[in-house]
Amino acid sequence: MKKNRKGYDDDDGRTIAGMNVDGMPWYSGSTGKGDEQNGHNTHEVLRGPYRRAFTWGVLKAALLVMAVFVVGYFLFILFCTKIWFA
């Protein structure tokens, strides 16, 4: 059976704000209005040296964050043993 929806007199069918938002369960990934023509290619796959360069960049960023935390932890332990609990 088809549902009868209540019609509004001032509704002309235009979309004022699109509800297709990243992270929502209904997100389709494209608006269907020529995303490829607008420079939004959502199906690009990295291959060969580009994939290795991307992976190496991500690894360096993760190692940098980890190093900052390790140095901070080391300085905190050094502060505790030499100054605070001395």
16-68: pLDDT as tens digits: 877 777 777 777 665 555 444 445 555 678 899 999 999 999 999 999 999 99
Query: Where is pLDDT greater, at 6 or 83?
Result: 83
Contact criterion met (CB below 8 Å) for 30 and 18: no
CA distance 68 to 53: 23
Task: Give long-range contacts, CB 8 A cutoff, 24+ apart: 16-21.
Answer: none
Full DSSP string of 32-70: SS-TTTTT--------THHHHHHHHHHHHHHHHHHHHHH
Give the start-to-end residue ranges of the domains of the chain.
46-86
Please report the pLDDT score of residue 16 as a whole number. 81
Expressed in angstroms, the distance from the first to the final Cα of the chain is 80
Query: Where is pLDDT greater, at 33 or 14?
Result: 14
Query: Where is pLDDT greater, at 70 or 39?
Result: 70
